[in-house]
């Protein structure tokens, strides 16, 4: 059973979802707005959206049926979002480690996953910001939207409902850790390609080889293989 709620405007759907969990009894509760004023990204980053052009969506998932680790769950969430957009846009869609979604070289989705205990239940709070109809990104050179990358205009309400149903269905039956890892690495952005990274404020060339089950990214650098956690390395693209 899943439910989907709407707010005309809110600061952050990840913050506001708590209010809906106090009264509803469901394994999947979604909340969305097309006007999020203070969106949050990974590790304190800000996720900025233009009102009426994009989707801010949060899904609260009760953890009692989820047996995989937090890292694997994060990977699987990124895979689901990637798969939905790949079906929608019919283009090559990639996952930029750990969980940004890249369409034709531009970031169109940011994902923020938190764990919260609310009303005696534990939840994964999956926050997803999807750039849908925005056509200008002056301040962020590597950002884009479904419109800029495909030329297609999607109906925000239809997209939201279909996205919510897709995520809930996929999260009812989570594959094995091995399947998730293989799928994640198969769709990893710039895997096995020479790329430029910023490590300890210095730029280095390297090749992304794989992400592992501990949430680390393995990069082949000039001095050998090294693993990194998020924020220890920045991929420049």
Residues 63-75 have pLDDT tens digits of 988 999 999 999 9
CA angle 98, 169, 88 (to 5 degrees): 65
Same domain, 220 and 155: no
Same domain, 177 and 212: no
Same domain, 179 and 74: yes
What's the mean pLDDT in 75-104? 94
**What pLDDT score does 141 carry?**
77
Domain that holds residue 199: 190-236
Same domain, 164 and 196: no
What's the mean pLDDT in 77-95? 93
Same domain, 194 and 108: no
Tally of domains in the chain:
2
Same domain, 73 and 12: yes
Where do runs of H (alpha helix) occur along the chain?
Answer: 13-21, 70-89, 146-150, 156-172, 177-186
Same domain, 38 and 154: yes
At residue 111, φ and ψ (nearest 5 deg) are: -125, 135
**pTM attached to this predicted model:** 0.92
Write out pLDDT tens, residues 166-225. 999 999 999 999 999 999 999 999 999 999 999 999 999 999 999 999 999 999 999 999
**What pLDDT score does 49 carry?**
60
Same domain, 214 and 226: yes
What residues contact residue 151 under an 8 Å CB cut-off, 6+ apart? none
Q: What is the rounded CA–CA span in Å between residue 186 and residue 190?
A: 11
Indicate if the pLDDT at residue 45 is higher than 70: no
Same domain, 222 and 128: no
Write out pLDDT tens, residues 167-179. 999 999 999 999 9
228 bridge partner residues: 217
**What pLDDT score does 43 carry?**
42
Same domain, 100 and 169: yes
Same domain, 199 and 133: no
Same domain, 37 and 133: yes
CA dihedral 136, 139, 145, 148 (to 10 degrees): 40
- Contact present, 168 and 28 (Cβ < 8 Å): yes
According to DSSP, the β-strands at 194-199 and 234-236 are antiparallel
């Amino acid at each position: 059973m899943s439910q989907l709620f709407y707010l005309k405007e809110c600061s952050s759907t990840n913050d506001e979802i708590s209010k809906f969990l106090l009264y509803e009894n469901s394994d999947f509760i979604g909340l969305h707005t097309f006007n999020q004023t203070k969106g949050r990204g990974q590790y304190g980053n800000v996720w900025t959206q233009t009102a009426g052009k994009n989707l801010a969506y949060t899904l609260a998932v009760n953890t009692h049926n989820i047996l995989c680790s937090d890292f694997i769950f994060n990977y699987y969430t990124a895979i689901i979002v990637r798969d939905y957009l790949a079906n929608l846009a019919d283009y090559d869609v990639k996952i930029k480690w750990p969980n940004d979604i890249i369409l034709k070289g531009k970031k169109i989705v940011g994902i923020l996953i938190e764990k919260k205990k609310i009303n005696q239940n534990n939840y994964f709070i999956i926050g997803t910001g999807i750039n849908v109809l925005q056509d200008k990104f002056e301040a962020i050179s590597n950002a884009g939207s479904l419109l800029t990358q495909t030329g297609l205009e999607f109906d925000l309400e239809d997209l939201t409902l279909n996205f919510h149903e897709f995520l809930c269905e996929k999260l009812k039956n989570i594959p094995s850790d091995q399947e998730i890892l293989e799928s994640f690495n198969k769709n990893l952005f710039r895997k096995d390609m020479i790329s430029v990274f910023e490590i300890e404020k210095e730029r280095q060339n390297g090749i992304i080889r794989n992400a592992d089950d501990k949430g680390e990214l393995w990069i082949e650098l000039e001095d050998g293989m090294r693993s990194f956690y998020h924020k220890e390395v920045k991929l420049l693209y």
